Structure 1
Amino acid sequence: MNKPVAILLVIIVVLVVSLTSIFAYFWIWSSTVGEEGYGGHGMMDMNREFIENMIPHHQDAVDMSNVALTRAKHPQIKQLAKNISISQSREIVEMRQWYKEWYGTDVPGDSHMMNVTDINRLKNAKDFDKEFIEQMVPHHQMAIIMAQMVLYHSNRPEIRGIAESIIKSQSKEIDEMRTWYKEWYGTDVPTYNS
């Protein structure tokens, strides 16, 4: 097995484990809400979990985008990276403020989800723009899944608002990246779920 295939398999495993954990959490939550309804303890935990997971997810996108600002060849990628960095940095600040206000403490844990290998592969890619799109499209898809799950269950207008914003903006960015990839590389962005 060659190195790129091995790296892809590691990424797939990490994504599958992450998705499985998130789906399991929401499945358990939805089956235990019971009479508490949307205002109960389970809902507070869902909002908390969303923030605790979305902040490191956003931070990874900001880190990837900051690399793109210096490495990207196409001006479209540089502009996209700038937009991602600005919007997701702002959302991180908002989510940290909500968390502190709602839970009386700072957001715990590591501020990153990506492993060092992924970011190093991006930094050292021969065709940076191609690698950036191949990593950012599934990264955005994961954020959309997380946002869709919380959108339909959160009772907090702030969480619902940020979830709607994530779905709208990142769906648009995925479409743009897919269009550029097809134009620049003559094929669709690879999918790694088969």
Structure 2
Amino acid sequence: MDFKNINIMVGIAALFSTVSLNSPGSDLNENHSHKMSNYEIKSDSKIYTVLTPLKDIIPQNLRGFKEYDEYAHSLMMSNSSQIFLTKDVGNNFVIYMIPHHEAAIITSIGVVKYTQNLEVKNLANRIIHAQEKEVEFMQKLLETGELRGNDNAQFLDKMKKIMIKMMKNMKPYSDHGNNSEEITKNYLRNMIIHHEGAVSMAKEYLKYGKNQELIKMSQKIILSQDEEIKEMKKILKKAN
């Protein structure tokens, strides 16, 4: 399969699609499913896959933290990854981790705009900066095809279970207003769960993965996000 030449309307790219029955989100409660018809993707082609440049998946018309949160949830639950899934451990790891990172970036962009908590703004900016680099890194690896050749069917099932558990535990922001305190607490609660999911996926990759660059990235995710989880729990305790 030549990933560079794939040109398929998938996931949220068509702008009117909902979560596919084949997507990771299909096992989740319906309350977590969000339509994408109100959001405009920057990409002229209106095609979204895990290889779409990060700058092209951020809509121009998001209004309020609730829409940032909904859009981030929808990215993680879209079926945009399905065309790329194989039996390869490294390949499937980045296919799950790319939208996971993208969702963290978009939610963090939203919280920077709407929270007044300086500690959270600082944290969110650090998350954006670190995960933008990791998304670009994973996309380059995926394009090269270097992540193939390490088959393990069990690994994909583990990725799905981690994602499903994470999405069930996260609580979408339900307030249409932009109350800074409520946004701050919602962001921290969800990002703790979100980080825990990333750490779990990275630990699974270390059990099965062979790509040395991804091994280093996974180790970095475990160390940095564990520290951020501790930081977020301290901030949340003060916010409550």
Q: Same fold (TM over 0.5)?
A: yes
Q: Distance in 1 between matches of 2:102 and 2:213?
A: 19
Equivalent residue number for residue 220 of structure 2: 165
Residue 85 (structure 1) aligned with residue 128 (structure 2)? yes
| Count of aligned positions | 139
In the TM superposition, residue 121 of structure 1 has moved relative to its aligned partner by 3.5
Equivalent residue number for residue 51 of structure 1: 94
Point out where structure 2 has 5 or more consecutive residues left out of the alignment: 1-28, 33-75, 77-85, 148-163
Q: Distance in 2 between matches of 1:62 and 1:141?
A: 16
In the TM superposition, residue 138 of structure 1 has moved relative to its aligned partner by 0.3
| Aligned partner (choices 138, 147, 159) of residue 95 of structure 1 | 138
In the TM superposition, residue 103 of structure 1 has moved relative to its aligned partner by 5.5
Q: Distance in 1 between matches of 2:221 and 2:196?
A: 10
8 Å contact from structure 2 (residues 173, 186) kept in 1: no
1:134 to 1:96, Cα distance in 2 relative to 1, 3 A = same
In the TM superposition, residue 153 of structure 1 has moved relative to its aligned partner by 1.6
In the TM superposition, residue 144 of structure 1 has moved relative to its aligned partner by 0.5
1:94 to 1:123, Cα distance in 2 relative to 1, 3 A = farther
What whole-Å deviation, never above 9, does each CA across 1:88-139 have from its counterpart, x for those lacking one? 01100000001111259xxxxxxxx97xxx6664874531111111111101
1:122 to 1:46, Cα distance in 2 relative to 1, 3 A = farther
Q: How does 1:1-194 map to 2 (within 5 A)?
A: 10=31, 45-102=88-145, 121=174, 124=177, 126=179, 127-185=182-240
Equivalent residue number for residue 153 of structure 2: none
Question: Given residue 201 of structure 2, which amino acid in structure 1 is its aligned partner?
Answer: M
In the TM superposition, residue 73 of structure 1 has moved relative to its aligned partner by 1.4
1:10 to 1:80, Cα distance in 2 relative to 1, 3 A = same
1:66 to 1:100, Cα distance in 2 relative to 1, 3 A = same
In the TM superposition, residue 68 of structure 1 has moved relative to its aligned partner by 1.1
Name the SS of the counterpart of 1:152 in structure 2.
helix
Q: Could you tell me the TM-score, scaled by structure 2's length?
A: 0.52
Question: Given residue 145 of structure 1, which amino acid in structure 2 is its aligned partner?
Answer: S
What whole-Å deviation, never above 9, does each CA across 1:13-52 have from its counterpart, x for those lacking one? xxxxx9xxxxxxxxxxxxxxxxxxxxxx95xx11000000
Name the SS of the counterpart of 1:139 in structure 2.
helix
1:64 to 1:49, Cα distance in 2 relative to 1, 3 A = same
Q: Could you tell me the TM-score, scaled by structure 1's length?
A: 0.63
Name the SS of the counterpart of 1:53 in structure 2.
helix
